[in-house]
Amino acid sequence: MATIRDVSKLAGVSVATVSRVINKKGYVSKETEESIINAMEMLNYTPNDVARRLAGKKSNTIGLIIPDILNPFFPEVARAAEDTANKLGFNLILCNSDDDREKENQYYEMLINKQVDGIIIASYTATPTDLISLMNKNIPVIALDREYKGFDIPFIKTDDQLGGELATNHLVECGCKNIAHITGPLYIDSFKERLDGFENILKKNDLYNPQLIRVDELSLVGGYEATKKLLEDGKEIDGIFAGNDILAIGCYKALNDLGYNLYDDIKLIGYDGLEANVDYLEISSISQPTYDLGKYAVDLLVKEIREEKDISKEKIKLDLKIKKRKSTLGK
């Protein structure tokens, strides 16, 4: 691999001058610039990131921590983040923490050690202090899909409470009277907030019945079991709001197995809007701008890194859309 020294020799200048053209910084005459660029091309030279970083420059790398790569929501976010990072000349290191705070902390260390310029964190388990101690080390941080209330941690997410309200309201408008909610662990803020929205609307409509709320494991099986239990208890139910699409699909399957007339006997709405997974089953859903979430997170972080903008006070909530399909509208 060619070094900056090789280039400087070939171009007959000093390394400093070469460095100047690499970084487009400081004065250098048109001619020398050209001959340097020429030399770089001849040698097929690319500056060594490691050396660069050691010499105090940015590494043009950001880290993205996600809690669960098996949840299709996150690959979608990751893909968007990667696309965007690449477009901006950044590399992305993707870390899957398995929703394990220990592992997450290891990742912080390794990312710092790898000298990333900033970190995007989607975590259910991180505490505000975790992030703040990162920020104190002068490494820009942005929280994704989660808000740390009461702390000055920039975040980007959607309005989950509003989403819960939208979903529930739609079921009410479809004429449902006994509406159940199947959701994931409530330590995950998004689920808690969707639940809040659910309760708000039902109370407002005098339809609230806490018996019809079930928390289960965040998986197809969880959704399946929760639905089965609800219905086997003999509860009268004509609508279900599932806290996310994975749960909704489990739910769909349970309804099927129990002999319910899909799309009619019991209306169903999910949450996430992961097209591929829900569209083909025609399950209504609250659709999050998943791609945008990843995209804007990177955009913002890069702005902070490049010091084009102070994002420390940025608190962004993106819009939600409701996708009405057969599972609530009927066949």
Partner DNA sequence: GTGAAAGCGCTAACAT
Partner DNA sequence: ATGTTAGCGCTTTCAC
Task: Provide the binding-site residues for its own copies, judged by CB under 8 A.
Answer: 46, 48-51, 53-54, 59, 61, 69-70, 72, 75-76, 78-79, 82, 86, 91, 93-96, 98, 103, 106, 109-110, 113-115, 219-221, 224, 249-250, 253, 276, 279-281
The binder of DNA chosen from 37, 43, 52, 215 (CB under 7 A): 52
SS3 content of the chain, % helix, strand, coil (to 5): 50, 15, 35
Q: Binding of DNA at residue 4 (CB under 7 A)? A: yes
Q: Binding of DNA at residue 44 (CB under 7 A)? A: no
CA distance 300 to 78: 15
The binder of DNA chosen from 9, 37, 48, 192 (CB under 7 A): 48
Which residues, in sequence order, are CB contacts of 32 under 8 Å at separation 6+?
Answer: 11, 13, 17
Residue 205 touches which of DNA, its own copies, none (CB < 5 to 8 A by kind)? Answer: none
Tokens of 280: 């083909």
Strands 155-158 and 315-318: parallel
173 three-class SS = helix
Tokens of 171: 């079921």
The binder of DNA chosen from 42, 51, 258, 329 (CB under 7 A): 51
CA distance 308 to 118: 14
Interaction residues for DNA, span 253-292 (CB under 7 A):
none
Supply the minimum distance, in Å, between the C-beta of residue 143 and its own copies: 21
Residue 280 touches which of DNA, its own copies, none (CB < 5 to 8 A by kind)? Answer: its own copies
The binder of DNA chosen from 9, 38, 56, 66 (CB under 7 A): 56
Residue 23 touches which of its own copies, DNA, none (CB < 5 to 8 A by kind)? Answer: DNA
Site track for DNA across 13-32, x = CB under 7 A:
xxxxx-xx-xx-xxxxx-xx
Which residues, in sequence order, are CB contacts of 56 under 8 Å at separation 6+?
Answer: none
Quick one: 48 or 219, whose CB is closer to DNA?
48
CA distance 272 to 290: 8
Supply the minimum distance, in Å, between the C-beta of residue 119 and DNA: 20
CA distance 111 to 173: 48
The three-point CA angle 243-104-100 to 5° equals: 50
CA distance 146 to 130: 14
Q: Which chain residues interact with DNA by CB under 7 A?
A: 1, 3-5, 12-17, 19-20, 22-23, 25-29, 31-33, 45, 47-48, 51-52, 54-57
